[in-house]
Amino acid sequence: MATNRTFTMLKPDAVENGHIGAILEKINASGFRIVALKLTQMTIADAQEFYAIHNERPFFGELVEFMTRGPIVAAILEKENAVEDFRTLIGATNPAEAAEGTIRKLFAASIGENAVHGSDSDENAAIEGAFHFSGREMF
């Protein structure tokens, strides 16, 4: 069942480069309501669990190192068709291939350091949101 919610992280590169405000502005302007929001930092164990689906990939070590090197902004967002619309808003994984105006095109430097995460299904959105937030932190 569609939940109309998705989960996002503004990744360490986006936070380091001072893009939190600009990215949240774009998210708001695109019609998403913020349900939960926090600045946090993933441990190595957190990142290994969060990205477990990629643990056989050659870039896994690099991904875990990157995602744990500094704080991230975690958020749950609500909108009709949230998962798909948010994936459209962030653009392709590789910013070089991302459409004009997308968050990754505007704010990301490389396929690894690509500024933002967006859940790829309603099921994963629920799992990923619950990974970072308790029920009391969702509004």
Annotated binding-site ranges for ATP: 11, 59, 87, 93, 104, 114
Candidates 18-26, 27-35, 59-67, 125-133 — which segment interacts with ligand IDP by CB under 6 A? Answer: 59-67
Please give the Cα distance from 53 to 9 (Å, whole number).
17
Please give the Cα distance from 106 to 97 (Å, whole number).
12
Please give the Cα distance from 46 to 32 (Å, whole number).
26
- Supply the minimum distance, in Å, between the C-beta of residue 3 and ligand IDP: 18
**Helix, coil or strand: residue 7:** strand
Q: Find the binder of ligand IDP among 24, 111, 126, 138 (CB under 6 A).
A: 111
Q: Find the binder of ligand IDP among 22, 112, 126, 138 (CB under 6 A).
A: 112
Please give the Cα distance from 21 to 36 (Å, whole number).
16
> Could you say whether residue 83 binds ligand IDP (CB under 6 A)?
no
Q: Strand 116-118 relative to strand 33-40: parallel, antiparallel, unpaired?
A: unpaired
Q: Find the binder of ligand IDP among 114, 125, 129, 132 (CB under 6 A).
A: 114
Q: In the annotation, is 117 catalytic?
A: yes
> Could you say whether residue 93 binds ligand IDP (CB under 6 A)?
yes
Catalytic residue positions, numbered: 117
